[in-house]
Amino acid sequence: MDLNYTANELAFRDEVRAFVSASLPPEISRKVIEHKRLGKDDFVTWQQILHRKGWIAPGWPVIHGGTGWNPVERHIFEEECAAAGAPPVIAFGISMVGPVIMAFGHPWQKERYLPRIHSSEDWWCQGYSEPGSGSDLASLKTRAERRGDHYIVNGQKTWTTLAQYADMMFCLVRTSGEGKKQDGISFLLIDMHSPGVTVRPIITLDGEHEVNEVWLEDVPVPVENLVGEEGRGWTYAKFLLSHERTGIAAVSRSKRELAYLEHIAAQEFSGGRPLLANVRFRDRIARVEIDLMALEITVLRVLAADRQGKPPGPEASILKIKGTEIQQALTELMMEAVGPWALPYLPDSWGDHWLGERVGPEYAAPLASRYLNFRKVSIYGGSNEIQRNIVSQMILGL
């Protein structure tokens, strides 16, 4: 694979860079680069800017509002957005349920939901995990009983990311208890404003309200909101997860974080030598950088195969494993780089002073919170232990 950009690709990079520089609100960019918390409006503002430009869904077919870019152009776009501090496009609509609807949905579902995903008119969340069904997702117990032209849904979902903002949820439900546990699972599109839907926050160790539990009590869902065929939801879920795991690799964002780590490590604290002067610490940064370069090449190979109509296979599990390990390593090294100046998330500490006492540089304050938050990345999207099982079975034949 030739990793040198062509003249056309360099021109495209300049076009993207100029657009992002002119269009990305600086207050949003600052939040992203400094690891401060983003609200729904921050994400939607950027996504609507991309929608108006026609760049919100690079991976979609042109007929549905995609860009027609090749894999290298998509990679360049992601790199430029990440480097500038653009928020990631929320994956649940664009990268997850959107491709499922395109591949398996009924024509009316494509006509209704795809434009609303594209414009960020609908915010989606994912109803997969349950209190007793996480890595063993096929053991889910949320049931949907058909009564006339509706399903009546009862059950509980957990770790539902950003459900407090959601208009819609794509949800795995059990419509039959016969056969293997993977059988009898169906894929429903549920309006989060329906009677019987209750969202309760789960406040995580970093103090963040990012995930939720969702209670479904006699929730009526029109039968027409079934995607594909009843009992085929497990097939659709695997298709979706392969796209999710590829995106979790987050190469471009990790490259931005690597540059930020080097910036932090070059600072001098209290008159001492910068940590970057320590050869052992530089070696640890170098190892992460080498891993990140190898991951980037692997992602480009997957994108090239996708361009030829080959959806991500078990190699998506490799991307998920290595990508999340790199992300966690970067948060750990940042914590070490600032040492005692790293604090848990305390909003009042964001500044040069807190309660009248010096607490270190402002950029150090969010790093402990970020470290704690990123412990989850090796779990969601299918835990890394499960991904290693997939690799051993599908690639190594063990």
The reported pLDDT for the residue numbered 11 is 97
Residue 236: inside a domain: no
**Chain position carrying tokens 């950088």:** 289
For the beta carbon of residue 48, count every other beta carbon within 10 angstroms: 14
pLDDT (tens digit per residue) in 28-37: 999 999 998 8
> Exposure pattern of 58-92 as b/e (b: 16+ CB <10 Å)?
bbbeeebbbbebebbbbbbbbbbbbbbbbbbbbbb
Domain boundary residue, one of 163, 197, 231: 231
Whether 113 is covered by a domain: the verdict is no
Question: Is residue 124 within 8 Å of 169, Cβ to Cβ?
Answer: yes
**What average pLDDT does this structure show over 318-327?**
92
Residues 184 and 317 in one domain: no
In the structure encoding, which two tokens stand for residue 248, read together?
């979790």
Q: What does pTM read for this prediction?
A: 0.87
Let me know whether 221 and 263 are in one domain: no
Last residue of a domain, one of 196, 231, 266: 231
Q: How many domains are contained in the chain?
A: 3
> Is 110 domain-assigned?
no
244 a catalytic residue: yes
Instruction: Name the residue with higher pLDDT: 274 or 121.
Output: 121
pLDDT bucket at 387, cuts 50 / 70 / 90 = confident
Asked if residue 378 lies in contact with residue 384, where contact means CB atoms within 8 angstroms, the answer is yes
Residue 117 forms part of a structural domain: no
Q: Which residues contact 307 (CB under 8 A, 6 or more apart)?
A: 70, 71
Q: Does some domain include residue 112? A: no
Same domain as 372, residue 343: yes
Domain range spanning residue 276? 249-394
Q: Are residues 305 and 354 in the same domain?
A: yes
Q: How confident is the model at residue 339 (pLDDT cuts 50, 70, 90)?
A: confident
Percent above pLDDT 90 for the chain: 63
Q: Give yes or no: residues 381 and 257 share one domain.
A: yes
Taking residues 140-163, report their average pLDDT: 97
In this prediction, residue 308 carries a pLDDT of 62
Q: Among residues 170, 199, 231, which one ends one of the domains?
A: 231
Examine residue 103 and state whether it is found in any structural domain, yes or no: no
Q: Cα(317)–Cα(105) distance, rounded to whole angstroms?
A: 25
Confidence of residue 355 (pLDDT cuts 50, 70, 90): very low
Q: Residue 294: its pLDDT value, please? A: 92
- pLDDT band at 194; cut points 50, 70, 90: very high
| Identified catalytic residue from 78, 244, 296, 315 | 244
Average pLDDT over residues 123-127: 97
Calculate the alpha carbon distances from 59 to 74, 91, 263, 325, 359 in Å.
8, 12, 33, 25, 44
Same domain (yes/no): 21, 133? no
pLDDT at residue 359 in the model: 58
Asked if pLDDT for residue 59 goes beyond 90, the answer is no
Same structural domain, 388 and 254: yes
Average pLDDT over residues 348-355: 45
- Is the same domain home to 221 and 278? no
Alpha helices in the chain (DSSP H): 7-23, 26-33, 40-53, 71-84, 91, 98-104, 107-118, 233-248, 251-265, 279-307, 315-338, 367-373, 384-394
351 and 294 in one domain?
A: yes
With CA atoms as reference, report the closest residue to 158 among 144, 142, 174, 145: 142
Give domain status of residue 159, yes or no: yes
Q: pLDDT per residue over 211-270, tens digit each? A: 999 999 999 999 999 999 999 999 999 888 766 556 678 899 999 999 999 999 998 765
In whole numbers, what is the pLDDT of the chain averaged over residues?
88
Give the chain's radius of gyration (CA, Å).
Answer: 22
Given a contact cutoff of 8 angstroms between Cβ atoms, the answer to whether 258 and 327 are in contact is no
- Helix %, strand %, coil % of the chain (to 5): 55, 15, 30
Give the number of other Cβ atoms within 10 Å of residue 15's Cβ: 13
pLDDT at 323 over 60: yes
CATH of the domain at 375: 1.20.140.10
257 with 210, same domain: the answer is: no
- Does residue 23 sit within a domain? yes
Is there a single domain that holds both residue 279 and residue 163?
no
Q: What is the mean pLDDT of residues 99-126?
A: 97
At residue 95, does pLDDT exceed 60? Answer: yes
CATH number, residue 163: 2.40.110.10
pLDDT band, residue 352 (cuts 50/70/90): very low
Q: Looking at the structure, tell me whether residues 214 and 178 fall in a common domain.
A: yes
